[in-house]
Amino acid sequence: MHNRDRLILFAGRSGQKLGQSIAQCLETELSPREFVQFSNENIKVRILENVREADVFIVQTSSPPLHENIVELLISIDAIKHASARRVTAVLPYFPYVRSDKKDEPRISITARLMADLIAAAGADRILTMNLHSPQIQGFFKIPGDQLDAAPILCDYLRRKDLSNTVIVAPDAGSAKRAGAYATRLDLPLAILDKRRSDDTESPEILHVIGEVEGRTCLIIDDEISTGGSLHETVEALRHLGAEKIYAACVHPVFCGKAVERINAAKLEEIIVTDTVPLSEKDDAVNNLQVLSVAPLFANAIRSINEGESVSALFR
Ligand code: R5P
């Protein structure tokens, strides 16, 4: 069989779990590669299959060890490209440094843009990602990029619950548009919290609430839960305002620092996340956690890209 346009799927170390699930949905297998880390921390990636003229996808997400995983991705793209693949798509379910997306202090790097530049410089022809922290990050990509949305997956799950008396909660003004889209999809009212961060201490403060939460079931919607600081503050504010039950849903379960303790202390009815970031063993301790897989959506997008079909058709 000749390779032209053949879909070949690889996964880096952080993309193994999701990559396997995507491969299963595509009724294929992850292609073999060799990964070596030398005593001097240098990394070697060797592609163990002929990829000449093939349409190659490599799955790697942003998770610890973050910087090793980024370099591993860049080296893998370079290796695939120099093995004469026709096209390489970097599949990044959770994009690295996605929150460093603006110059909000003097003399800092817009690191999400730098990441996009590095991926393109390594030789990627396309990027496939999911729910970027802000839509303008798409403008950082000099190569074509597709941004998938986990909202249909999360909303399908949420619709199976009793949503009477429920209000969608945006934890800050920046997330109001995103949470508003969930409110529209689920036909629910929206409340917006006024959260401010005064420095880099990861301890935001809730100042005001717009909307009715007293006596209601609150469903907090966020793009990611990182240290759990925002979630903690949001839950405290909602309880103070008389919320009856509290659920939280987010796309990217980054779960770093004190996240597990904070989530459990929040005593949520349920916390619903996706598998864009692999959960570690310590995350098994998260109470009432429901993980929904984005693998079928990524598999459909990969198939559409390979066959030259529309990707936006997957958002309906
Ligand atoms: C903030 O702008 C984001 O939408 C999330 O609320 C934030 O990234 C969560 O971070 P953490 O869990 O560390 O508060």
The yes-or-no verdict on residue 54 having pLDDT over 80 is: yes
**pLDDT tens, position by position, 83-92:** 999 999 999 9
CB 152 within 8 A of CB 315: yes
pLDDT over threshold 80, residue 316: no
The DSSP output letter for 65 is S
CATH 3.40.50.2020 for domain 3-149+295-315: yes
| 202 C-beta closer than 6 A to ligand 1 | yes
- Rounded distance from Cα 229 to ligand 1 centre (Å): 7
The residue type of 193 is L
- The predicted model gives 37-62 an average pLDDT of 97
Range with the poorest average pLDDT among 66-70, 193-197, 272-276: 193-197
Which residues are the active-site residues? 195
pLDDT in tens, 251-298: 999 999 999 999 999 999 999 999 999 998 888 899 999 999 999 999
**Residue from 195, 199, 201, 226 to probe ligand 1 pocket by mutation (most atoms less than 8 Å from CB):** 226
Query: Does 204 score more than 70 pLDDT?
Result: no
Q: What is the rounded average pLDDT of the residues 96-125?
A: 96
Kindly state the average pLDDT of the residues 54-68. Answer: 97
Distance 133 CA to ligand 1 centre (A): 9
The CATH number for 151-292, chosen from 3.40.50.2000, 3.90.1170.50, 1.10.490.10, 3.40.50.2020, is 3.40.50.2020
What SS3 state is found at 293?
coil
Tens of pLDDT, residues 218-259:
999 999 999 999 999 999 999 999 999 999 999 999 999 999
What is the distance in angstroms between the CA of the first residue and the CA of the last residue of the chain? Answer: 35
Neighbouring-strand partners of residue 47: 33
Are both 3-149+295-315 and 151-292 of the same fold? Answer: yes
Give the atom of ligand 1 at the shortest distance from the alpha carbon of 229. Answer: 14
Counting atoms of ligand 1 from 1, which one is nearest the CA of 227? 13
Q: How far is the CA of 137 from the centre of ligand 1 (A)?
A: 17
Minimal-distance CA residue to ligand 1 atom 2? 174
Q: Using an 8 Å Cβ cutoff, are 34 and 77 in contact?
A: no
Q: How far apart are CA 129 and CA 15, in angstroms?
A: 13
Residues 6+ apart with CB under 8 A from 151: 181, 182, 185
The reply to whether ligand 1 has any atom less than 6 angstroms from the CB of 170 is no
Q: Which of 192, 203, 225, 250 to mutate to test the pocket of ligand 1 (most atoms within 8 A of CB)?
A: 225
Report domain extents, the chain.
3-149+295-315, 151-292
Predicted TM-score of the model (pTM): 0.94
Is residue 113 very low, low, confident or very high in pLDDT (cuts 50, 70, 90)? very high
Exposure on the CB side of residue 7, measured as CA atoms within 13 A = 17
Quick check: 200 pLDDT over 70? Answer: no
**Is 224 close to ligand 1, i.e. is its CB under 6 Å away?**
yes
DSSP 119: H
